């Protein structure tokens, strides 16, 4: 309903709130996606951005890569929500170079993608990369938010950086 009205943001929000995409149901979410494809039901952008976080939380990298290929084959990469979910997937799974490549390829970046990339660096001890990316963010028109600063502080802490 929301996506039919052009409110993809609300559609994604509703779908992502479904319990099936949360940690304990991530495997179920992936199985449902497989069943959709097997039944010739074409997953849409809302489905994809709801399933990718389940892959990220489960470290289901192979499934995430398959979904990434599906996105490319079906041209579902027109929305930042998809790009952000891919950055999150690869960042959480430790493939920060791939996450960064996706970040760099984005046609237009929002604060969510900056935060997600900074958090990805932080999760894996790349504190200076997080700081350098934050410095680049400061050169844009975007304003850092509480998640930006939390992710940056976490990245510095994990990398044992003392930046004043």
Return the pLDDT at 143: 97
Q: Do 77 and 114 have their domain in common?
A: no
Read off φ and ψ for residue 101, nearest 5 degrees: -60, -45
3-state SS, residue 108: coil
Return the pLDDT at 5: 52
Render pLDDT for 79-114 as a digit per residue (tens, 0 to 9). Answer: 899 999 999 999 999 999 999 999 999 999 999 999
- Higher pLDDT among residues 14 and 119, named by residue: 119
Q: State the average pLDDT over residues 137-158.
A: 96
The range of the structural domain enclosing residue 23 comes to 1-97
Give 159's pLDDT tier (boundaries 50, 70, 90): confident
Asked if residue 102 belongs to a domain, the reply is no
Render pLDDT for 3-60 as a digit per residue (tens, 0 to 9). Answer: 445 555 555 555 455 444 444 566 777 778 888 888 888 888 888 888 898 898 888 8
Residue 137 CB neighbour total at 10 angstroms: 19
Q: Do 69 and 23 have their domain in common?
A: yes
Which residues lie below 8 Å from residue 138, measured CB to CB, with a gap of 6+?
144
Would you give the distance in Å from CA 139 to the centre of its chain?
Answer: 23
Structure tokens at 46: 């809302």
Q: What is the tally of structural domains in the chain?
A: 2
- Cβ-count burial of 16 within 10 angstroms (0-12 exposed, 13-18 middle, 19+ buried)? middle
Q: Do 85 and 115 have their domain in common?
A: no
Q: Do 77 and 141 have their domain in common?
A: no
For Cα atoms 6, 86, 98, give the angle at the middle one, nearest 5 degrees.
Answer: 145
Beta strands in the chain, from DSSP E residues, in sequence order: none
Return the pLDDT at 155: 95
Q: Do 120 and 72 have their domain in common?
A: no
- Inter-CA distances, 37 with 21, 30, 53, 57, Å: 17, 11, 18, 22
């Amino acid at each position: 309903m929301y996506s039919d009205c052009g409110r993809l943001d609300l559609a994604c929000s509703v779908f992502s709130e479904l319990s099936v995409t949360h940690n304990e149901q991530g495997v179920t979410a992936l199985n449902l996606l497989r069943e959709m494809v097997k039944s010739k039901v074409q997953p849409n952008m809302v489905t994809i951005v709801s399933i990718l976080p389940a892959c990220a939380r489960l470290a289901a990298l192979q499934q995430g890569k398959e979904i990434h290929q599906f996105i490319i084959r079906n041209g579902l990469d027109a929305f930042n929500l998809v790009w952000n979910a891919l950055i999150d997937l690869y960042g959480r799974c430790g493939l920060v170079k791939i996450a960064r490549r996706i970040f760099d390829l984005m046609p237009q970046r929002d604060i969510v993608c900056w935060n997600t990339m900074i958090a990805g660096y932080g999760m894996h001890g790349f504190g200076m990369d997080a700081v350098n990316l934050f410095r680049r963010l400061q050169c844009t028109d975007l304003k850092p938010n509480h998640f930006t600063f939390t992710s940056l502080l976490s990245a510095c802490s994990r990398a044992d950086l003392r930046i004043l």
